[in-house]
Amino acid sequence: MMPTIAIGDIEIYWESHGRGKPLLLISGVSGGTWTWEESISAWSPHFRVLVFDNMGAGRSSMPDRPYEIAEMADHAAAVLDAAKEERAFVVGLSMGGMIAQELTLSHPGRISGLVLGCTHCGGSERISPAPEVIQRFADNEGLSPEGIIDKNLTLLVTPAFLNRDSDSLKRYRERQLNAPLQPDYALQRQLEAIRSFDVCDRLGSIQTSTLILTADFDQLVPAENGRLLAKRITGAELKLFTNTGHLIYLERARTFHQTVMGFFKALT
């Protein structure tokens, strides 16, 4: 039986892989533990990798009520508590990067190092995608699970990567198909949480060593958002992935895994 944490009326599903210094991975919209399969393989020989399903996805609770990024950050902190880890390295991608920012701001003593990938700080400062991109991403009406995956991939990776139909892309599709289906209301609740998120004016208080990853072909979170984060977080490093879409961990897996591991190893 895999572990779950009860936080009020919410249950959060989580997993632990490997041994060593703890590394907490936080998923984006609709994602969960399955998102990180290849990252777990890459990092678990070096770290204790902790993964979980956000509220509204996977095997965690999916209440039909407003979600807040701050609440989801508290869930992430609860995973550390359940794992009996006081501090951890943290990687957050997309919405997971927003959760990671709030986690670092609300629980600063628990973060040993921070990687933010393809994310933004919210509010009026963020650079939004084209309206048709958000509309297409959010509209799954009438689509089969396979149709949803294929539709989203046109927004998440470059056409060149999609056309190669690599083994890694086939494994991604298979993982998505085998994952618990996210109800449409839960997707909309997660998207609402993103729209109400705003920590831009608080980022100057982050003292944690931070690496920001951005991609020049990111249709969902334009790369300029990463540059804005780097300006706001004192001492943050910024790395741009060229010819790469939103899913940097999929499209540039080797470079992504090496970059993140190198950053954290340098902090130990």
Contact 259, 213 (CB under 8 A): yes
Mean pLDDT of 13-26: 98
Tens of pLDDT, residues 102-154? 999 999 999 999 999 999 999 998 999 999 998 998 888 888 989 999 999 99
For the chain, what is the largest distance between any 2 Cα atoms, rounded to a whole number of angstroms?
A: 49
Tens of pLDDT, residues 222-239? 999 999 999 999 999 999
Phi, psi of 156 (to 5 degrees): -105, -20
Mean pLDDT of 238-243: 98
Q: Which of 35, 53, 30 is nearest to 185 (CA)?
A: 30
Identify the sign of the CA torsion 162, 167, 169, 170.
positive
Residue 138's pLDDT is 86
* pLDDT grade for 2, boundaries at 50, 70 and 90: low
Q: HSE on the CB side for 150, CA within 13 Å?
A: 7
Tens of pLDDT, residues 21-54? 999 999 999 999 999 999 999 999 999 999 999 9
The structural domains of the chain, ordered by start, are 4-265 (3.40.50.1820)
* pLDDT grade for 165, boundaries at 50, 70 and 90: confident
Instruction: Say yes or no to pLDDT of 268 above 50.
Output: yes
Instruction: Say yes or no to pLDDT of 175 above 70.
Output: yes
* pLDDT grade for 1, boundaries at 50, 70 and 90: very low
Residue 23's pLDDT is 99
Q: Which of 40, 39, 95, 48 is nearest to 72 (CA)?
A: 95
Contact 208, 115 (CB under 8 A): no
Tens of pLDDT, residues 181-236? 999 999 999 999 999 999 999 999 999 999 999 999 999 999 999 999 999 999 99
Identify the sign of the CA torsion 172, 121, 241, 15.
negative
The pTM score is: 0.96
Give the pairing of strands 210-215 and 111-117.
parallel
Apex 119 CA angle, 114 and 123, nearest 5: 115
DSSP state of 125: G
